[in-house]
Structure 1
Amino acid sequence: MLSSNNKCKTCDSFITTLLLMIYAVAIINASPINVDKSRFDSFLVFGDSYSDTGNSYNLTNHTWPLPVYFKGRFSNGPIWVEYLATKLNLTLKNYAFGGATVDSNLTQGFTGANFNVSVPGIVQQVDTYVATLPADAKTQKTLVSIWSVGNDYLDTNYTVDPQKVVDRLSKAWTTLYKKNLRNFIIPNVGDFSHLPFNKNASKELLQKAQDVHVKHNFYLQKAVQSFVDTYPDVVVWNVSVDLFNIGLQTAPQSLTGLSDFVDPCFILSTGTVCPDPTTHSFWDQFHPTTQVHKDFADAIDSFFANATPSLINL
């Protein structure tokens, strides 16, 4: 247990949302805080297809994703950043691109029907934001999301070094901190072996996917801890995607409506869409349905509204 002093505190709280889903989040900060929605005045987003609200769609002249997707989102409806921005009544500024990696100089990310349109990585997204930020910008109450779901690994067959990927993420959030941003949502990555894309993968590939997932999350947790040790006035919500997914799958179907956590609703190769998307957790081989996005936003919103963290070591 950490003592109540000026050293970094880690608050790890398991909460049950109205949908009885469970996810884990660690608040890491300099001292215990009373979390409330008035803490934030805007929402700034960096990431990939799980967070993109139309940037890749605009970049490809509205050709990707396909019309079966919702208004350029990589889902069948609004995504979590939109749901959360609405719940918190925040203006959303989104730099995320579908297909993005963490750093284009480490692994270049692509989007488009032929996977040939390059997109800026998270580091480059942050650089773009910082380059246009007025010198007198008031950013202390901005809520920031930096989330990579793992294109660096998916695009390289799980061969890129997770330590290097996390180092680039650390560079991105440190750059933002130096521009006076103080409130960060930093989710980790889920288990790649559970993606529909990997349903028929070899045991060897699945093992590689699982190993990379574990290493990434280990290094990410260490990097976040180092971040707050170095800058004690920062607050980080480090969301466990694995535990969110466990909670989603164990919640009663009568509350979530979800019954299929394996098969995607939309099959790109055939162009077919399942009869009832509301029962599927995956819209396609990689991306969750809008219901899952909403549940993710509900979980975070519930935490902001109701959490009373206890102090523990990560």
Structure 2
Amino acid sequence: MCTSAKCRRNMCVIRAGLASMPTLMRTVTLLLICFQLVCTSLSAPSPPIVLFGDSLSDDANGFAGNAKFVLRTNQTYPEELYYRGRWSNGPTWIEFAASMLGVPLTDYGAGGATTGSVPAQVPPLPVGFAGLTVPTTVLSPTLPQQLNMHFLKFNNTLSPGPLYFIFIGANDYFSIVFQKTAVTAGLVTQYIQDAMGQLYSKGARRFVLIQVPDITGIPVFTQNSTYGYYPASAISRMGAEVTQHNANLRQIAMSFPTDHGGSSVYVYDFGGAFSKAANNASAGFTETKKACYVTAYHLADDPVPDTQPIGSPNGSLCSNPDQHVFWDQFHPTRIIHRSIANQFVNQTSSPLFGISSN
């Protein structure tokens, strides 16, 4: 049905042109026009995005958007500081990217999520929070649990059309430092490959694996001298496992399609995009190492003192957040998220994805 002004104008031009043609030519031309209109109306739309991940992609539909992180001071993180339940001061990179591409997004990303190699949880909710009388540990859905949510939603039958993103692993590797676990990249990426196999068995065919960025230089490890508690050896091993993780993802991208006919796998260098965004001189960043919002994060069994006194529930907020690379001790600002999305869209507008940034 032609409803737009532009469409009506075009139809007027078509009718005027047809009126001047001989009958046979007019009939053939009309059939060709109708065929073109039908083909256009039946052309496949840009594929939707389905994402499984952690706080770097949590659009507040995940667990953390509802339960929220808490301060050791029995205060929830200020709503106005953490944008509508995100782990930043604005939308996440995948939200920006989906909007730029004009595609629907189903996002299961949840703050604190892991692949399943270690428990996924946000810090314990303290006594007094929401009427609690004892500290309560709240679990965040692991990668297998996120998959099960999606399978349940679609009755275990998935369309081959969507792009299935998996961006997870950072919290697994944080456990090396915070909980002194022996997690390895081999174990973490095996969970990811298993997830891909499950998705494939239900009908998924197109996968996007997002590499974990360098997490050794984030503010939680560098901003304050009190963080010197964390052993350099543990931080170094964490970084080594992340490097191996990303190498494993590249190997999976090469081997998975061979064993799973009709599938395609794309690997995106999130860390490279992050570095490019952070070092972009035209972006006007004046602070690339320190967090804008310094909060009293509390991790289980973490003896490191709070960065703020107990009497400062809202922490310390900078006056120029858009000139900071990091929003808090773990997460980037909205400006970084948006830049990464721009890079992703420009890099992936290709036949592999069947999508265009228009």
Distance in 2 between residues matched to 1:99 and 1:109, nearest whole Å: 6
Which residue type is aligned with residue 165 of structure 1? V
Match of 1:60 in 2: 67
Deviations 1:140-192 (A, max 9, x none): 22122110141011124262121111100111112112222222221111122
Please, which of 108, 112, 116 is the counterpart of residue 137 of structure 2? 116
Contact 1:65–1:73, Cα closer than 8 Å, also in 2: no
Long gaps (5+) in structure 2:
1-43, 71-75, 126-135, 223-227, 297-307, 309-314, 353-358
Please, which of 326, 349, 356 is the counterpart of residue 282 of structure 1? 326
Shift of 1:248: 2.3
Shift of 1:234: 1.9
1:214-229 → structure 2 map (5 Å cutoff): 214-229=243-258
Match of 1:147 in 2: 167
Distance in 1 between residues matched to 2:53 and 2:216, nearest whole Å: 21
Query: What is the Cα-based RMSD across aligned positions, in Å?
Result: 2.6
Please, which of 209, 221, 235 is the counterpart of residue 186 of structure 1? 209
Contact 2:278–2:336, Cα closer than 8 Å, also in 1: no
Distance in 2 between residues matched to 1:75 and 1:152, nearest whole Å: 20
Deviations 1:50-81 (A, max 9, x none): 11111224542797654220000000001111
Tell me whether 1:212 sits opposite 2:232 in the alignment: no
Distance in 1 between residues matched to 2:146 and 2:269, nearest whole Å: 23
With structure 1 as the length reference, what TM-score do the two structures score? 0.77
Please, which of 91, 97, 111 is the counterpart of residue 104 of structure 2? 91
- Aligned pair count? 268
Shift of 1:246: 3.1
More helix by share: 2
Distance in 2 between residues matched to 1:304 and 1:61, nearest whole Å: 32
Contact 1:57–1:65, Cα closer than 8 Å, also in 2: no
Match of 2:129 in 1: none
Which residue type is aligned with residue 142 of structure 1? P
Which residue type is aligned with residue 291 of structure 1? I
Match of 1:305 in 2: 349
Contact 1:191–1:209, Cα closer than 8 Å, also in 2: no
Tell me whether 1:133 sits opposite 2:154 in the alignment: yes
Contact 2:69–2:122, Cα closer than 8 Å, also in 1: no
User: Structure 1's 186 and 96: CA in aligned 2 closer, same or farther, altered over 3 A?
Assistant: same
Distance in 2 between residues matched to 1:249 and 1:94, nearest whole Å: 25
Contact 2:157–2:203, Cα closer than 8 Å, also in 1: no
Distance in 2 between residues matched to 1:175 and 1:65, nearest whole Å: 36
Distance in 2 between residues matched to 1:148 and 1:134, nearest whole Å: 24
Distance in 2 between residues matched to 1:56 and 1:182, nearest whole Å: 27
Task: Tell me the percent identity.
Answer: 25
Distance in 2 between residues matched to 1:94 and 1:278, nearest whole Å: 25
Over alpha carbons, which structure has the higher Rg?
2
Distance in 1 between residues matched to 2:263 and 2:118, nearest whole Å: 29
Deviations 1:116-145 (A, max 9, x none): 2101101210122112314665x2221221
Please, which of 171, 180, 183 is the counterpart of residue 160 of structure 1? 183
Distance in 2 between residues matched to 1:242 and 1:277, nearest whole Å: 21
Which residue type is aligned with residue 100 of structure 2? K
Deviations 1:245-268 (A, max 9, x none): 3322432x22x2323221011000
Q: Report the secondary structure of 2:210's partner residue.
A: coil
Distance in 1 between residues matched to 2:124 and 2:213, nearest whole Å: 25
Contact 2:53–2:167, Cα closer than 8 Å, also in 1: yes
User: Structure 1's 297 and 307: CA in aligned 2 closer, same or farther, altered over 3 A?
Assistant: farther
Shift of 1:39: 6.8
1:229-248 → structure 2 map (5 Å cutoff): 229-248=258-277
Contact 1:65–1:113, Cα closer than 8 Å, also in 2: no
Distance in 2 between residues matched to 1:233 and 1:175, nearest whole Å: 15
Contact 2:209–2:267, Cα closer than 8 Å, also in 1: yes
Contact 1:258–1:280, Cα closer than 8 Å, also in 2: yes
Tell me whether 1:42 sits opposite 2:48 in the alignment: yes
Tell me whether 1:79 sits opposite 2:79 in the alignment: no
Match of 1:291 in 2: 335
Q: Report the secondary structure of 1:101's partner residue.
A: coil
**Which structure has the higher relative contact order (CA within 8 Å, separation 6+)?**
1
Which residue type is aligned with residue 128 of structure 1? M
